Structure 1
Amino acid sequence: MRARYITDAAMVRLPSIVLSLQSPLRPDPILRLQELYFSSFETQVFATLFLIALLPLGAEVASHVRTRVRRRYGRQLAEASSVLVLAAVVVADVYAFSVVWHVTYMLRYTLDVMLIDRWLAARQLVSAAVAVTAYLAIRFVNRSIDKLAQTDAITKHQSEVAYHVTDICIVGFAGTILLSLWGIDLTNIFIGAGAITAVVALTARETLAAMLAGFILLFSRPFYVGDWIAIDETTGIVTDVTIFTTKIQTFGDRHVLVPNDQVTSSPLINYSRNDQLRVDVEVGVGYDTDLEHARAVVADAVADLEEIKNAPNPQVVATRFDDSAITLECRVWIGDPTMRRKLDAQTAVIEAIVDAFDREGIEIPYPQRVHAARDDPGFRVRSATPEETELGTATD
């Protein structure tokens, strides 16, 4: 009775509007239940301990629901179901606690302070729904992109760019809805965003150019991670492609970051795009050498090498006249081009040509010069005598 007297006294001190809002949370059955079972302090304490003991049981039920839903519908719905069950248990426990201690009016007062009116409550609910929907949409899209990346439908660079683009689009769309819902004028925001964009475009032109070039590389796909490419004077293997830069590991084991705008504006050679690559090896022969025989010797020497392909067949052509030799160019092809296969093929071709020329007696000439006298008689030079040397003169 003493507890009830204190409760009633507290209710008298509350504003009249709170008392008028108390009835929905305290209907007649709840009122009779309070009078019959929760009128003494001892029963209230016992009921409170019982409600506290129910919380671990509610957590166990939520875990069981999450396990069953995850097996049937997936992880996302399982997490949502678990959260809903836990929320329901907590809300029910709090309401039961307020019934036990005769303070249901406090819940109504709290709701009244939080919601204020129906229109504000509706906007709050819609805002929460938009935020949750945007979050779930981002998770769903990102998981879909991960699955596409696992099937090699898109590259790692494309998946990263897709992450950023889709996330920005979803967040921007949800933000526009929320701003419109709360009556915020979007015109001023768009004008301010346009001004900020202009300032950023002027101060960060190179960064924006690199970012746009990253999107161009995303859609054009001139190379993939792992390809052997050459950009200007940089040659190596592509290790990563981001929105702003392309990472290349050179054959000298150096890591080079090339801005994407430089990649799109410079000549690009992709040696890995085709399934074969031509390797050229030059060798010089003397001017008195039978060129047809020398070409046949070179072609036969490299025909059976394991490092090169049989088709197309090796070709040997005379390319130019050098100072001391006529240059022959041996053209062979390798499959699945890599720098190691190219170097192995060059080495094998050079060794085969040297061995074949040694067997056939064909000389690879060293650079040399021939000095010949002209037709005019010129003048004769003789050594100076000791006397002339002392005087610094000499006679013809």
Structure 2
Amino acid sequence: MAGLIPTLAQGLATIVLVGGTLAGIDVLETAIEQYAEESDALNQHQQGIVFRVLQIAVLLAAGLATLTVWGVPLGSLAVGAGFLGIVVGTAARSTIGSLIAGFVLMFARPFEIGDWVAIDGDEGIVTDITIINTRMRNAAGEEIVIPNDVVSNATVTNRTSLERLRLSVDVGVDYDADVEAAEAVLGDVLDDVSGVLSNPTPQVVPKSFGDSAVVLECRFWIDHPSAAKRAMTKAAVVREVKRALDEAGIKIPYPQRELLGREESGGLQVAEGDGAESPTPTAEQFERSQ
């Protein structure tokens, strides 16, 4: 009977701990939801991650408290956990690196779900950000999975963060063409193409001297950019540029090469003297000798 009372007390304390832990988790979830609604600091995805991390921390603390109530020595558990941590850390070094990078990405927020980004050459729409990896879907419909430690060390280009994107199309016109007239024609084209913003104003600037043409660069902006909208707008500009230049009689030249030649009359001459060689015959002399 004497030993039953401590056991009942320990059991009651355990029940109180479990009930308090569950109630605390509910309060914690409500507090995080309210904070996320009142502030832009957390998006829905970050809210879920923060709650899961804090939930694990609360459950771990409750578990240790329960072990203490039942008299389990925590010192030996700490030593065992230390050795286990070393083994797990060595075996899962890259995974832990991705985990840490995932937390950094979630709070640094270089991009959000739905953004159109390029990460070291891979381009697509972000579909998911976990604490281990980032997932994108490219224009071909393929899913790209990139570990977060790779993302954190990569060059990330967010094409949707400013809600607009500048595009360019190079156009070559003949060297005999009036360049200023070509600029005016291309400027009118950019003003009329659907999807091209009027502000910032489209520009047409001479860019370089090509092998066969003077290269003009058409610069223009689109809003709410995406890979599909970029492709469609550039295609529309190319079609309208070709039509307008044809109507204006301005030629888009084919690749050209200019060949120059000169007439040879005497062939290679060698100085006279011992061991002197005869002059190299010309083509006409060679034909007569046949």
**Interval containing the TM-score (normalised by the shorter chain):** 0.7 to 0.9
- 1:277 has 2:162 as partner: no
Work out the number of aligned pairs and report it.
275
> Is 1:163 matched up with 2:51?
yes
Partners in 1 of 2:74 and 2:139 — Cα distance? 53
Aligned to 2:18: 131
Deviations, residues 26-72 of structure 1 (Å, cap 9, x unaligned): xxxxxxxxxxxxxxxxxxxxxxxxxxxxxxxxxxxxxxxxxxxxxxx
Once residues 376 and 198 of structure 1 are traced to their aligned partners in structure 2, the CA distance between those partners, rounded to angstroms, is 84
Distance of 1:228 and 1:260 partners within structure 2: 17
In structure 2, which of residues 205, 217, 226 is the aligned counterpart of residue 329 of structure 1?
217
Deviations 1:327-384 (CA, angstroms, capped at 9, x unpaired): 11100001111122212221221122112211211111111211111475567547x9
Pairing 1:38-77 to 2, within 5 Å after superposition: none
Deviation at 1:145, TM superposition (A): 4.7
Q: Does 1:224 align with 2:224?
A: no
Q: Give the letter for the 1:279 counterpart.
A: L
- Shift of the 236–148 alpha-carbon distance from structure 1 to 2, 3 Å rule, reads farther
* Distance in 1 of aligned mates of 2:205 and 2:35: 49
Q: Partners of 1:319 and 1:159 in 2: how far apart?
A: 49
What does the per-residue CA deviation read over 1:256-313, in whole Å, with 9 as the maximum and x for residues that have no partner? 1111111111000111101210011111112222222211221122113221111011
Alignment CA distance shift 1:347-1:189 (3 Å): same
Secondary structure at 2:250 match in 1: coil
Q: 1:208 aligns with which of 96, 99, 113?
A: 96
What code does the residue aligned with 1:284 have? G
The amino acid across from 2:224 in the alignment is D
Alpha-carbon spacing, 1:370–1:355, altered in 2? closer, same or farther (3 Å): same
Q: 1:282–1:330: 8 Å Cα contact kept in structure 2?
A: yes
Secondary structure, counterpart of 2:86 in structure 1: helix
Aligned AA for 1:122? A
Stretches of structure 1 that go unaligned for 5 or more consecutive residues are 1-111, 386-393
Kindly provide the amino acid, as one letter, of the partner of residue 137 in structure 1: G
- Spell out, residue by residue over 1:79-128, the C-alpha distance to the aligned partner (whole angstroms, 9 max, x if none): xxxxxxxxxxxxxxxxxxxxxxxxxxxxxxxxx5xx94333322221111
Are 1:345 and 2:233 matched, yes or no?
yes
Corresponding residue for residue 130 of structure 2: 242
Does the 8 Å contact 1:317/1:330 carry over to 2? Answer: yes
The answer to whether the Cα contact below 8 Å between 1:307 and 1:344 also exists between their aligned partners in 2 is: no
TM-score by length of 2: 0.85
Structure-2 residue corresponding to 1:198? 86
- In the TM superposition, what is the alpha-carbon distance from 1:152 to its structure 2 partner? 9.2
Q: Do the aligned partners of 2:170 and 2:217 also contact (CA within 8 Å) in 1?
A: yes
Q: Which runs of 4+ in 1 moved over 6 A?
A: 147-152
The 10-residue stretch of structure 1 (181-190 or 363-372) with the greater mean CA deviation from structure 2: 181-190
Distance 1:151 1:368 in 2: 65
Structure 2: segments with no counterpart, 5+ residues: 268-280
Distance of 1:395 and 1:327 partners within structure 2: 52
Q: What is the rounded CA distance, in whole Å, between the counterparts of 2:21 and 2:239 in structure 1?
A: 66
Once the two structures are superposed, the pairs formed by residues 173-184 of structure 1 within 5 Å of their partners are 173-184=61-72
Deviation at 1:209, TM superposition (A): 0.8
Alpha-carbon distance between aligned partners in 1 of 2:209 and 2:153, rounded to the nearest angstrom: 37
Task: Measure, in 1, the Cα distance between the counterparts of 2:246 and 2:38.
Answer: 54
What is the DSSP-based 3-state SS (H/G/I as helix, E as strand, rest coil) of the residue aligned with 1:303? helix
Checking the alignment, whether the CA contact within 8 Å between 1:307 and 1:348 is kept in structure 2 is no
Amino acid across the alignment from 2:103: F
Say if 2:164 and 2:223, in contact at 8 Å, map to a contact too: yes
Match of 1:366 among 229, 251, 254: 254
C-alpha separation in 2, matches of 1:125 and 1:395: 123
Query: Which one has the bigger helix percentage?
Result: 1
CA distance in 2, matches of 1:368, 1:172: 75
2:193 is matched with which residue? 305
Matching residue of 1:7: none
Q: TM-score of the superposition, structure 1-length normalised?
A: 0.64
2:140 pairs, out of 252, 264, 270, with: 252
* Cα distance in structure 1, aligned partners of 2:149 and 2:20: 37
Q: Secondary structure at the match of 1:278?
A: strand
Aligned partners of 2:188, 2:238: CA distance in 1, in Å?
13
* 1:395–1:320 Cα change, 3 Å: farther
CA distance 1:262–1:374, shift in 2 (3 Å): farther
| Inter-CA distance 134–145: structure 2 relative to 1 (3 Å threshold) | same
Q: Is the 8 A contact 2:139 2:228 kept in 1?
A: no
1:330–1:380 Cα change, 3 Å: farther
Give the number of the structure with larger relative contact order, counting CA–CA contacts within 8 Å between residues 6 or more apart: 2
Q: 1:134, 1:170 within 8 Å by CA — same for their partners in 2?
A: yes
* Identity level (%): 35
